[in-house]
Amino acid sequence: MALPKANRLKSRKDFQAVFREGIRRQSSHFTLRALKPRRLKEPSLDAAAKANLVSTQIGISISTKVSKRAVVRNKIKRQITAAFYELLPKLSRGWRLVVVVKPTAAESKCGSQQFLQELEQLLAQAEVFDGHS
């Protein structure tokens, strides 16, 4: 169950912008980087940028430090994606989010329900949910 294409953060440039300018919130298994949406009235935005502003974009970063085994990394990534799939309707529009997975996520053998709770808590701290803009 992948995220819709409009909700995926893909380019290296976008990831770098989130890391450079975004706010950071941490939990025991994740670090959330969140970049607030730009205002629509900015003249520098072209049509493609305005289209991207409509939906929240999410990227997941998981290094080989978490686990040397790709099977383990992919399983964690699928669990995070499933959690975001449930949280997507609650998110404010236009945010760019990157979830960096810490090595403790693989060591603790957590289920996707715990990942969901942790991500929900991080998103609330970053005020990414609707009504916090």
CATH (residue range 5-38+46-125): 3.30.230.10
Q: What is the pLDDT of residue 109?
A: 72
Q: What is the pLDDT of residue 51?
A: 53
Q: What is the pLDDT of residue 108?
A: 78
Q: Using DSSP, state whether 99 is helix, strand or coil.
A: strand
Domain ranges in the chain are: 5-38+46-125
In 3D space, the residue among 101, 97, 39, 36 whose CA is nearest the CA of residue 74 turns out to be: 101
Its pTM stands at 0.84
Q: What b/e sequence results for 111-125 when a residue is b if at least 16 CB atoms lie within 10 Å of its CB, and e otherwise?
A: ebebbbebbeebbee
- In the block, which residue shows the tokens 């300018």? 21
* Mean pLDDT, each 10-residue run in order, the chain (133 residues): 90 95 95 86 57 80 95 94 92 94 86 88 92 59
Q: Roughly what angle, to the nearest 10 degrees, separates helices 112-125 and 70-87?
A: 60
- The answer to whether the CB of 95 falls within 8 A of the CB of 87 is no
Start-end of H helices in the chain: 12-21, 47-54, 70-87, 104-107, 112-125
Q: What is the pLDDT of residue 32?
A: 97
